[in-house]
Amino acid sequence: MNLNELTNHTAWFNADVLVVLMKEWAEAYYNEGNSPVEDAVFDAARKRLEILDPHHPHLAIVGAPVNADGMERHKIPMGSLDNVNNEQEFRDWWDKINPGVVVVQYKYDGLSLGLEYEEGNLVKGLTRGDGIYGENQTENICNCYHSGQINNLNEQFAGSIRGEGVIYREDFSDQNFPGESNPRNSAVGAIRKSNSPRVQWVRIACYDIVSDKQFNKEAEKIEYMAHLGLPICDYQIFDNPDDVINFYNETEANRDNLPFMIDGMVVKINDVARQQELGSHKGRPKWARAFKFPCLTGTSTITDINLTVGHTGAIIPTAEYKPIIIDGRTFQHALLDNFDTIEKLGINAGDEIEIEITGDIIPKVRRVLNHTGIGCFVRPQTCPVCAAPTEIDGAYTRCTGTNCPAKSIGKINNWIKKTGIKYLGESRQKDLFEAGVIRSPADIYTVIREQIGSVIGDGNAIHVMDQINNHRTLDLHTFMGALGIKFLGRSNAKKLIKAGIDSLDRFMTFDPEVEKNRIDGFGDNLKEIANGIQNCKDTIESLLEAGIAISEPTKTQQNQSQSEGSQEKSLSFCFTGVRLGKLKDAFEAKGWTEKSGVSGNLDYLVAKDPTANSGKLKKARDKGVSVIGMAEFEEMLG
Asked if residue 325 lies in contact with residue 182, where contact means CB atoms within 8 angstroms, the answer is no
Mean pLDDT, rounded, for 422-442? 90
Identify the weakest region by mean pLDDT among 8-17, 79-88, 147-156, 270-279.
8-17
pLDDT (0 to 100) of residue 437: 93
Over 90: is that where the pLDDT of 351 sits?
A: yes
CA dist 257 → 234, 253, 261, 376 (Å): 16, 9, 9, 39
Q: Is the pLDDT higher at 67 or at 501? A: 501
pLDDT (0 to 100) of residue 296: 79
Domains and CATH numbers, the chain: 3-60 (1.10.287), 85-292 (3.30.470.30), 296-399 (2.40.50.140), 405-471 (1.10.150.20), 474-553 (1.10.150.20), 564-637 (3.40.50.10190)
Mean pLDDT, rounded, for 542-571? 63
Q: Give residue-wise pLDDT tens across range 462-489.
A: 989 999 999 999 999 999 999 988 888 8
145 DSSP assignment:
T
Cα separation, 579 vs 136, in Å, equals: 12
Q: What is the CA radius of gyration of the chain?
A: 26
Pairing of strands 329-335, 315-326: antiparallel
Q: Give residue-wise pLDDT tens across range 31-72.
A: 444 456 666 677 778 777 777 766 665 665 554 444 444 567
pLDDT (0 to 100) of residue 550: 92
Asked if residue 465 lies in contact with residue 452, where contact means CB atoms within 8 angstroms, the answer is yes
Asked if residue 438 lies in contact with residue 416, where contact means CB atoms within 8 angstroms, the answer is no
Q: Is the pLDDT higher at 16 or at 241? A: 241
Say which residues have a Cβ less than 8 Å from residue 88's Cβ, sequence separation at least 6: none
Whole-number mean pLDDT of the chain? Answer: 84
- Crossing angle for the helix pair 15-32 and 39-52, to the nearest 10 degrees: 150
Could you tell me where the DSSP H helices lie in 286-365? 339-345
Cα separation, 192 vs 140, in Å, equals: 8
Q: Give residue-wise pLDDT tens across range 360-399.
A: 567 888 889 999 878 899 999 999 999 999 999 877 899 9
Mean pLDDT, rounded, for 419-443? 90
Q: pLDDT-based confidence at 92, cuts 50/70/90? A: very high
pLDDT (0 to 100) of residue 303: 93
394 DSSP assignment:
T
Over 50: is that where the pLDDT of 211 sits?
A: yes
Phi-psi bin for 122: left (phi > 0), alpha (psi -120 to 50), beta? Answer: beta
pTM strictly above 0.75: no
Q: Give residue-wise pLDDT tens across range 268-325.
A: 999 999 999 998 877 789 999 999 888 778 899 999 999 999 888 889 899 999 998 8
